[in-house]
Chains A and B, each alone.
Chain A
Amino acid sequence: MRTTQFFALAAAGVLATAGLAACSDSDKGDSAASGGPIVVKASDTACEVGSTDLGAGTATFKITNSGAKVTEFYVYADGDRVMGEVENIAPGLSRELHVELPAGTYQTACKPGMSGKGIRGALKVSGSAQPLTADAALGDATDNYQRYVKSQTAALLDKTEEFVAAVKAGDVAKSKALYPVARTYWERIEPVAEIFGDLDPKIDGREEVIEEGMEFTGFHRIEKDLWQSGDISKDGPIADRLLVDVKEIVAKANAEKLSPLQLANGAKELLDEVASGKITGEEDRYSHTDLWDFAANLEGSKAAVSALRPALQQRSPELVTQLDTEFANVEGLLGKHRDGDGWKLHTALSKAELKDLSDGINALAEPISKVAAAVAK
């Protein structure tokens, strides 16, 4: 039978610096366990760990050596990778170990006489470390992204106003030109928009997602009329409704503070949007302006990752390198399809070109899917 439990490997470069051995009277209790350090009773023949089922985060162990031999205390991940250690605990002394442990399975070990494999015990860590914003770099990430949302929503409002005015004026050519531009600002911040579940389908719902009894409105309704019938004479009320909804979402988005985890997941969701809707040409099926949305999703994803970058750099530098490489790759692939200030139509791309884009998005989305865990560590 398949086993569902394995020793936790340090997935992406876990940071596990043991707090330096501190003297017994020092008080650094920010243990993930219920208050106070986890007491470890070490002797020449035993290694009793007070709690072996911890919440993720920084754990503090207080090791007291009642034996006659000098001992050491270790926390090991799979393959005896040292997550943290305290050496040289003389008989009768207590020392503390601070170690950051993500969810997983570990082993504790006391080494009386400071040699051999030691006296081992299992240690289980589950859940996630909280609260993340306590970390300065993550706090900065949240603030940084909030500034991005502010700038994008301002532009979204401006361009939607222009688009709506053109539609109401019956100017088909101008409306067509503004449609992908206004949507760019929307698509960049879609993860924020999606927090407001009721507004998203009104603004950006495609015809097939409109439920029974709901009217097909928003960008895609106007898109259909612009490109399919060319008749937007009756779209005034729909355009007015769109502007009201966009104004509401702009206000809400600016009041919203995304957590670092939401940022990380948003970066991934934007790429999922590309993979499932834009590559296939489903999003802008009448106008075929999917590549504008594609570019905007990619930019939005990059903005979220950039905001997290300093925190990621601390936590998982190799992931940052990988993300840089893959962002550059997709940007290069997409860059081939530039057309003036905008993009080629989806219909102008061959199947092979679309597959190249799909491969590029997949190559980027896999490392991006690891960002949340790196942030949560």
Chain B
Amino acid sequence: MSGSRLTRRRAITLAGAGVAGVAGVAAGAGALLKGSHDPAAANDHPAGAVPFHGEHQAGIVTPAQDRLHFVAFDVITKDRARLVELLEEWTAAAARMTAGRDAGVLGAVGGMPEAPPDDTGEALGLPPSQLTLTIGFGPTLFRDADGRDRFGLADRRPAALAELPKFPGDALQPQLSGGDLCVQACANDPQVAVHAIRNLARLGMGVVSVRWSQLGFGRTSSTSREQATARNLFGFKDGTANLKAEDTDLLRDQLWVQPGDGPDWMAGGSYLVTRKIRMLVETWDRTSLAEQEEIVGRTKGSGAPLGRSDEFDEPDFAARGADGKPVIAEHAHVTLAHPSRNGGAQLLRRGYNFVDGSDGLGRLDAGLFFIAYQRDPRRQFVPIQTQLARHDVMNEYLRHVSSGVFACPPGVRDGGDHWGRGLFG
């Protein structure tokens, strides 16, 4: 449909449809993720559980849930065995929590009265809410800032896990960036996502320390054709041209690390780039509709590329208007990020909006917590972001304040497997 007269109510309905869409494809996603597992655990309502075990980690091509709690940890122990033990404990807790159970074996109310419960309790009575927990390893786990091989892993570091270069205009805050480990928790209930991260952080006391964390809402990308495209806080549909779970061949080429790409332990995994992008929404909101659309390269209502009518129409970069100028500007966001300008590179985006209160200057502290998975950041995120950082007119309204890059290993196969087994084994 042409969305030239999209009412607010209609937009809300669509957003609702996005959530319903999650339910619609859940079973399909289960089939994608389950590897050799039977689909008994697949869910037919939004409250269902996403299988934890499988060929790939859940939380990547899983239909994007509505809420995020993302955390980056520093490893503070020097003891490799203790770190591995924590990864085993985390895996067991993650398997339990994603199935809608308590973090610990005794549970929030099943232990001794004199002991602190082994689950924090705020998810008691809540359904699994499609919780997924996805782990990643940062470059500093392999060598710290001083170049020390901390855990004897340096020779296992994939070349693709390179620190990101500094992009023009970056305003990164070191304390909000990087991390030795990360865990992405996504769920359709924020309380479930927070509960998961809180319990993992607690299990990690003395071994890891929370470096930074981020809450997000209103997924800004769809990772499945079944989902309506959601909107970012600029009010535009975001992620129309995203990689989708259904694009099996593209996922092989663009998302999943293939055997021979690097060390074996990463085959079947994916590289994650996070960027916390503050949006200066107050100045954006004073920008005319025409200029907003010119900056993005899409119409605000339907999300169609300028000059086309449907959201999913391919942008026509050759089209000229009556004035002889390109219909889609050379420096429009859509142009700069398009695969045709980036050697065919695509990303699987999974970002979330954030509002962290306000900044004391009367402005919302809001923006996009950008999340992208890919086969090799050096050939995908880096060239795309280099283009955007140099030429994107949108930069006037953006500040990149945090950045992270992580190697997300393949899925946990079964109850005998654990996060990081391939890396530490």
A109-126 residues at the B interface, CB under 8 angstroms: none
Decide: B209 and A355 in contact? CB cutoff 8 A. Answer: yes
- B113 adjacent to A127 (CB under 8 Å): yes
* Interchain CA distance A62-B205 in the complex, whole Å: 44
Which of B109, B116, B206, B209 makes the CB contact (< 8 A) with A370?
B116
Is A4's CB within 8 Å of the partner chain B?
A: yes
User: Given A1-B127, A375-B114, A376-B114, is A7 in contact with B105 using a C-beta cutoff of 8 Å?
Assistant: yes
Query: In the assembled complex, which residues on chain B have CB atoms less than 8 Å from the CB atom of A295?
Result: none
| Contact of B107 with A by CB under 8 A | yes
Q: Which residue of A lies closest to B121 (CB)?
A: A4
A102-B112, A372-B115 in contact; A9/B106 too (CB < 8 A)? yes
Choice from A6, A103, A351, A365 contacting B112 with Cβ under 8 Å: A103
Question: Which B residues lie within 8 Å of A127 (CB)?
Answer: 113
**A362 near B107: Cβ-Cβ < 8 Å:** no
Nearest-neighbour CB distance to chain A for B209, whole angstroms, equals 4
Which residues of chain B from 172 to 188 have any CB-CB distance to chain A below 8 Å in the complex? 175
25 contacts between A and B (CB under 8 A): A2-B125, A4-B108, A4-B124, A6-B105, A6-B106, A6-B107, A7-B105, A8-B111, A11-B106, A11-B112, A11-B115, A78-B105, A103-B111, A103-B112, A104-B110, A105-B110, A127-B113, A128-B112, A261-B114, A356-B76, A359-B205, A362-B209, A365-B205, A370-B116, A372-B114
A264 proximity list for chain B (CB < 8 A): 114
A266 and B127 CA atoms in complex are apart in Å by: 37
Complex: A187 Cα to B123 Cα, angstroms: 37
**Cβ contacts under 8 Å, B109 to chain A:** 4-5
* Residue pair B206, A2 in contact (C-beta under 8 Å): no
Among A5, A326, A364, point to the contact of B110 (Cβ < 8 A). A5
A318 within 8 A of B: no
Query: Which residues of chain B are within 8 angstroms of A351 by Cβ–Cβ distance?
Result: 175
**CB of B79 to closest CB in A, whole Å:** 10
A57–chain B nearest beta-carbon distance, Å: 12
Is B102 interfacial (CB-CB < 8 Å)?
yes
Q: B333 to nearest A CB, angstroms?
A: 36
Q: Interface digits, A59-87 against B, CB 8 Å rule (1 contact, 0 not)?
A: 00000000000000000001000000000
- Chain A residues with CB under 8 Å of chain B are 1-9, 11, 56, 78, 102-105, 127-128, 261, 264, 326, 329, 351, 355-356, 358-359, 362-366, 369-370, 372-373, 375-377
Which residues 354-387 of B sit at the A interface, judged by CB distance below 8 A?
none
Given contacts A1-B125, A3-B107, A326-B206, contact A359 B76 (CB under 8 A): yes
Q: Which 4 A-B pairs have the closest CB atoms?
A: A363-B206, A373-B115, A376-B114, A372-B114
* Interface: B276 (CB within 8 A): no
- Given the known interface contacts A3-B107, A127-B113, the answer about A362 and B206 at a Cβ–Cβ threshold of 8 Å is yes
Of all chain A residues, the one with the shortest Cβ separation from B202 is: A366
The CA of A68 and the CA of B118, in the complex, are separated in Å by 45
Q: Which A residue's beta carbon lies closest to that of B47?
A: A1
- Assess the A5–B113 pair: CB atoms within 8 A: no
Distance in angstroms from A250 CB to nearest chain B CB is: 29
CB neighbours of B76 from chain A (8 A): 356, 359, 363
Given the complex of chains A and B, what is the CA–CA distance between A181 and B109 in angstroms? 42
How many Å lie between the Cα of A358 and that of B206 in the bound state? 10
Check if B105 sits within 8 Å of A373, measured CB to CB.
no
Q: Please, which residues of chain B bring their CB within 8 A of the CB of A329?
A: 206
**Contacting B123 at CB < 8 Å: which of A2, A358, A375?**
A2
Q: Is B126 an interface residue (CB 8 A)?
A: yes
17 further interface pairs, Cβ-Cβ under 8 Å (given A3-B101, A4-B109, A104-B112) = A2-B126, A3-B102, A4-B102, A5-B107, A6-B107, A8-B111, A56-B112, A78-B105, A102-B112, A104-B106, A359-B205, A363-B76, A369-B115, A370-B116, A373-B112, A376-B113, A376-B115
Q: Are B209 and A1 in contact, CB atoms less than 8 angstroms apart? A: no
Of B105, B112, B123, most buried by chain A (CB within 10 Å of CB) is: B112
- B139 interface residue (CB < 8 Å to A): no
Question: Which residues of the partner chain A approach B206 to less than 8 Å between Cβ atoms?
Answer: 326, 329, 359, 362-364, 366
Least Cβ–Cβ distance between A138 and chain B, in angstroms: 13
CA distance A362 to B210 in the complex (A): 11
Q: Which of B69-112 contact A (CB under 8 A)?
A: 76, 100-102, 105-112
Q: Are A103 and B113 in contact (CB under 8 A)?
A: yes
Would you call B100 and A1 a contact (CB within 8 A)?
Answer: yes
| B-side contacts of A128, CB under 8 Å | 112-114
B131 CB to nearest A CB, Å:
12
**Closest partner residue, chain A, to B100 (CB atom):** A2
Question: How close is A76's CB to chain B, nearest CB, in angstroms?
Answer: 15
A11 / chain B contacts, CB cutoff of 8 Å: 106, 111-112, 115, 118
Q: How far is the CA of A355 from the CA of B174 in the complex (A)?
A: 15
**Chain B residues whose C-beta falls within 8 Å of the C-beta of A358 in the assembled complex:** 209
How far is it, in angstroms, between the C-alpha of A4 and the C-alpha of B63 when the chains are bound? Answer: 29
CB distance from A275 to the nearest CB of B (A): 11
Bound CA span A264–B112, Å: 15
Whole-angstrom distance between the alpha carbons of A107 and B238 in the complex?
Answer: 55
Q: Are B114 and A363 interface neighbours, CB within 8 A?
A: no
* Shortest Cβ distance from residue B120 to the other chain A in the assembled complex, whole angstroms: 12
Contact A8 B110 (CB under 8 A): yes
Q: Which residue of B lies closest to A105 (CB)?
A: B110
Chain A residue with Cβ nearest B102: A2
Contacting residues of chain B (198-217) with chain A, CB-CB under 8 angstroms: 202, 205-207, 209
CB neighbours (8 Å) of A365 from chain B are 205
Residues of chain B within 8 A of A103, CB atoms compared: 111-113
Contact assessment for A363 and B112 in the assembled complex, using a CB-CB cutoff below 8 Å: no
Query: Closest B-chain residue to A4, C-beta based?
Result: B109
Shortest distance from the beta carbon of B397 to any chain A beta carbon, whole Å: 30
**Set B107, B112, B123, B202: member contacting A376, Cβ < 8 A:** B112
Min CB distance, A254 to chain B, in Å? 26
Interface centre among B111, B118, B124 (most CB of A within 10 A): B111
Max chain B Cβ within 10 angstroms of own Cβ: one of A4, A11, A329, A366: A4
CB distance from B337 to the nearest CB of A (A): 36
- Specify the chain A residue showing the minimal Cβ separation from B201: A362
A377 to B115 CA separation, bound complex (whole angstroms): 10
How distant is B204 from chain A, measured CB to nearest CB, in Å?
9
Known contacts A359-B76, A363-B205; A369/B116 CB under 8 A:
yes
A329 to B77, CA, bound (A): 10
Q: Are B124 and A362 in touch, CB under 8 angstroms? A: no
| Inter-chain contact B205/A2, CB cutoff 8 Å | no
- Bound form: Cα–Cα A240–B202 in Å: 45
> Chain B: which residue is nearest A8 at the CB level?
B106
Report A-chain residues with C-beta under 8 Å of the C-beta of B107: 2-6
A136 to B116, CA, bound (A): 25
Q: How far is the CA of A4 from the CA of B101 in the complex (A)?
A: 9
Known: A104-B106, A366-B206. Is A2-B101 also a contact (CB below 8 A)?
yes
B124 near A2 (CB under 8 angstroms)?
yes
In the bound complex, what is the Cα–Cα distance between A177 and B100 (angstroms)?
56
- In chain A, what residue has the closest Cβ to B97? A2
The CA-CA distance from A369 to B112 in the complex, in Å, is 12
CA of A8 to CA of B105, assembled, Å: 7
Residue of B nearest to A9 (CB): B105
Q: Quote the shortest CB–CB distance from A129 to chain B (angstroms).
A: 10
Chain B residues with CB under 8 Å of A363's CB are 76, 205-207
Q: Are B205 and A366 in contact (CB under 8 A)?
A: yes
Give Cα distance in the complex from A105 to B111, angstroms.
9
